[in-house]
Structure 1
């Protein structure tokens, strides 16, 4: 039913004119309260003002121009500025600030900006539905796309998009693809899948993305799959904590029993780590069942180093790349309520920005020849391979020096398989023979610095069913997914920030990937303090003092020896109880090794170390040298103890080295402790 339109004609009366009196048959509406009325006839409505209403205002005068729509509006120049800044994906509040600065007489407010942005979107869509406009944009921009609809409702359920430049990157660098999905990106609440590639400069590029109804499909079934070790560690820690009902056991298990399994580089190391786990947690069969059934029996080849070291992955063993891609994408999206076409436009801008940065990094590797890379035997690679590759080789050369004469035995040659670049022993042989490395010794991934060279993926043929469909087909047969809304309960946020994982709810904080791997979670509590301020400086030999980089004076409550261990390896001296647990577990798991080292009896030593009651007496002190052996073995460190009296006399100076270590470890870590009062010192 169409709505009737009426024309309103204002008839101003002069001083001598008298208002006409409407007939009883005419529609009449009184207004103003001052003798004014409206009359309707065949020509439309007329407004007739009475003598008392003529020349008078029936409202207060305007005080704030910003609140009057007739006096506050965007001028043509302001509209053009809003259009330009919207195309640049500037946030509305920042657009408003720019308009106020350049066009103060427009008296703009936030509603003006939002309304005009909505008007721009409607003008661009030209009355087309969101799904139609979305797919037409992809066709106009020469995207490769694929879509799937529900056959019963013709509602779009899956759609994949790939930028043409992203496909050019993929054809050039097809070796590693990170895949993960994220949420809170669109108003339909459809999972958003990202496929992320890697450039030789160690930068990400978005290969393609997809809106999906669900995540049940398996993709790339014929390729080598790796699982993210960071997420696996978090899940293992959370589940063990839940099974044992002990908040410390989750982390202890991960550090003492799970990490050796994860980092095993030989089959013997892997089997040994499994046996140690079973012996240590025989009282918790649910833990052993969880680890084996969930991870090891079916997926060990996807994350244990013994198997992943045989896969060409260029160092990508976690999905941190695609997590970074999620974060970058959401920085462009700004809200979780976007439609298909608005999300497409913002992702397209993000890809264009990404392409610019990648080209810049590739050109920098071609043009800028770093001095640190111009060393024997890398000179011929400088400027012909990426800076990231050169940095890997420089670090491998440092490792070659650390391994010294044992480089051929302890190298491991992992880089030859995982990166296909020369390893430490190759560098040593090149230096000894006086030869240089050539491009053929480096994988094409690192030496391809121009997009399109050495491309390994053939260009796909256009599929007439998906690449050249007429937009009228979409408009006639494909419908927009329904918006997923909840009208009850707490109002939903438009934020794109993801929900917490289970282990994050347990900790009460959001997770952050640390920079430091291995068994030491977190850094030491000290930070480069001057050795001259050390209160027990007299207790150090003069020959040692120049090599000390840092120190910390832990609390002297009887637990100071274990506080030193916690401060150095566990992120702070307050974790001394955990340090005691770790040492006890190390001793229990390897009883045959320690039964002859603890002269007072192994069970008595376990009872002495097991203490969590705060201040303790001598019956729970750290015992020398017995307790130093599990410390050296578990953390693969050399523990050096100096005891010097106030007059320079020496007491029990000793060094304890690890009795065993993984075959690929370069060297032990070093901790120096003062004997009179335990204080950890970091030495070079």
Structure 2
């Protein structure tokens, strides 16, 4: 789920301004040894330089969607018509190379197809591959935990929703704060609904006994990723080289070779094989554990805290808490129950104003190069 952690007004998009904005973001992180593992951006040098200074241990990945669109736009202009689609497909193959050996083979095929378009090959090599391939080609980005995020589309979607709430750029600070607050409230509501689905709704593919320690304790999205990964077991077995361990390195979830070991031994997937990111199913802060200081958590106080919290919750919250306690006490059984209200699964809400900009809307931006090309040539060639 997308969630905004802060908003910043900057005088200009220069490195010093980004230094200030990222510095404020760093202050939101209370523990000094915690830093973002990955920051995903466009190829904006001022921002990229600021990230190196403020978060030197963070991996700065580049948006693959924008890179592919920009290269495809150049392809539309500079590659012969009968070769355009082939070159675009070969370029996507280069970006999705699973390892360095495969990357070199796919790059050779791409360059061979563009042998008569030296300017295009020079643009791709000098603008993207030579300086930035480690920041967007999967052979390198699959080595870091990015949780499946390789484009900035989620950020742009969130930005678009915020601009719709602001309506125009002429509002005062109070109006802007109100819009930002409304935007965060909507995000929190969506996240809470997602959490409730993880407690009460089980998909057919999630009912396997191998998921019994994960159901109601990790998100449905995580179980779906693991379920999809299990389809590779027959192909890779326990061979790590054949597996590639992409899901483990990018999402910190058990990959095919790990899952093969669990299925062979007939044991359910253990909860501790899943990263804590996927176990966050509540907006509440977890109880502190003092074991690092040599003291065990006082269970009597913990039980009293659970009862106090239980009494303060509504019926949905009480059911969620009871489900967690039940699973802890009886891990071999299930406490699944139907949702308190019937979930609407058919039909959709019609948007009467679809495609219409709000009255007085004046928030504009300069189109990207590929947007100019698509406007002139059309988008009939595809990606």
> Structure 2 length as normaliser, TM-score?
0.64
Query: Following TM superposition, by how much is the alpha carbon of 1:340 offset from its aligned partner in structure 2, in angstroms?
Result: 3.1
Which of structures 1 and 2 has the bigger CA Rg? 1
Other-structure match for 2:89: 255
CA contact (8 A) 1:313 1:419 kept: yes
CA contact (8 A) 1:237 1:251 kept: no
Aligned mate of 1:242, from 77, 88, 94: 77
Distance 1:278 1:390 in 2: 40
Query: Following TM superposition, by how much is the alpha carbon of 1:453 offset from its aligned partner in structure 2, in angstroms?
Result: 3.2
Other-structure match for 2:225: 392
Task: Give 3-state SS (helix, strand or coil) of 1:358's partner.
Answer: helix
Distance 2:269 2:185 in 1: 36
Query: Following TM superposition, by how much is the alpha carbon of 1:172 offset from its aligned partner in structure 2, in angstroms?
Result: 11
Pair 1:340-2:173 in alignment: yes
The aligned runs of 1:290-329 (5 Å cut-off) are: 290-329=123-162
Distance 2:216 2:187 in 1: 23
TM-superposition CA deviations, 1:463-496 (whole Å, max 9, x none): xxxxxxxxxxxxxxxxxxxxxxxxxxxxx97344
RMSD: 4.1
TM-superposition CA deviations, 1:164-191 (whole Å, max 9, x none): xx979xx99965555579xxxxxxxxxx
Query: Following TM superposition, by how much is the alpha carbon of 1:298 offset from its aligned partner in structure 2, in angstroms?
Result: 1.1
Distance 2:378 2:173 in 1: 30
Query: Following TM superposition, by how much is the alpha carbon of 1:335 offset from its aligned partner in structure 2, in angstroms?
Result: 2.0
TM-superposition CA deviations, 1:101-148 (whole Å, max 9, x none): xxxxxxxxxxxxxxxxxxxxxxxxxxxxxxxxxxxxxxxxxx989888
Distance 2:287 2:58 in 1: 21
Other-structure match for 2:245: 413
Other-structure match for 2:281: 449
The aligned runs of 1:521-540 (5 Å cut-off) are: none
CA contact (8 A) 2:167 2:360 kept: no
CA contact (8 A) 2:165 2:179 kept: yes
Other-structure match for 1:433: 265
Distance 2:160 2:10 in 1: 27
Query: Are the structure 2 counterparts of residues 441 and 172 from structure 1 closer, same or farther at C-alpha, using a change threshold of 3 Å?
Result: same
Query: Are the structure 2 counterparts of residues 429 and 145 from structure 1 closer, same or farther at C-alpha, using a change threshold of 3 Å?
Result: closer
Query: Following TM superposition, by how much is the alpha carbon of 1:369 offset from its aligned partner in structure 2, in angstroms?
Result: 4.5
Distance 1:362 1:291 in 2: 43
Pair 1:276-2:109 in alignment: yes
Higher helix share: 2
The aligned runs of 1:148-167 (5 Å cut-off) are: none
Q: 372-381 vs 499-508, which deviates more?
A: 499-508
Query: Following TM superposition, by how much is the alpha carbon of 1:503 offset from its aligned partner in structure 2, in angstroms?
Result: 1.5
Other-structure match for 2:371: 504
Distance 1:149 1:498 in 2: 16
CA contact (8 A) 1:178 1:321 kept: no
Query: Following TM superposition, by how much is the alpha carbon of 1:162 offset from its aligned partner in structure 2, in angstroms?
Result: 8.3
Query: Are the structure 2 counterparts of residues 385 and 255 from structure 1 closer, same or farther at C-alpha, using a change threshold of 3 Å?
Result: same
Query: Are the structure 2 counterparts of residues 175 and 149 from structure 1 closer, same or farther at C-alpha, using a change threshold of 3 Å?
Result: closer
Query: Following TM superposition, by how much is the alpha carbon of 1:300 offset from its aligned partner in structure 2, in angstroms?
Result: 0.5
CA contact (8 A) 2:41 2:63 kept: no
Query: Following TM superposition, by how much is the alpha carbon of 1:228 offset from its aligned partner in structure 2, in angstroms?
Result: 0.8
Task: Give 3-state SS (helix, strand or coil) of 2:62's partner.
Answer: coil
The aligned runs of 1:2-17 (5 Å cut-off) are: none
Other-structure match for 1:591: none
Distance 1:502 1:176 in 2: 26
CA contact (8 A) 1:146 1:161 kept: no
Higher strand share: 1
Structure 1 gap ranges (5+): 1-142, 151-157, 182-192, 194-213, 456-491, 513-519, 523-684
Query: Are the structure 2 counterparts of residues 336 and 145 from structure 1 closer, same or farther at C-alpha, using a change threshold of 3 Å?
Result: closer
Aligned mate of 2:198, from 365, 384, 396: 365
Distance 2:281 2:41 in 1: 24
Other-structure match for 2:63: 228
Distance 1:433 1:281 in 2: 51
The aligned runs of 1:497-646 (5 Å cut-off) are: 498-508=365-375
Query: Following TM superposition, by how much is the alpha carbon of 1:415 offset from its aligned partner in structure 2, in angstroms?
Result: 0.7
* Structure of greater relative contact order (alpha carbons < 8 Å, 6+ residues apart): 2
**Alignment coverage as a number of residue pairs:** 293
Query: Following TM superposition, by how much is the alpha carbon of 1:286 offset from its aligned partner in structure 2, in angstroms?
Result: 1.6
Distance 1:362 1:510 in 2: 45
Distance 2:41 2:132 in 1: 17
Distance 1:267 1:276 in 2: 14
Task: Give 3-state SS (helix, strand or coil) of 1:449's partner.
Answer: coil
Task: Give 3-state SS (helix, strand or coil) of 2:257's partner.
Answer: helix
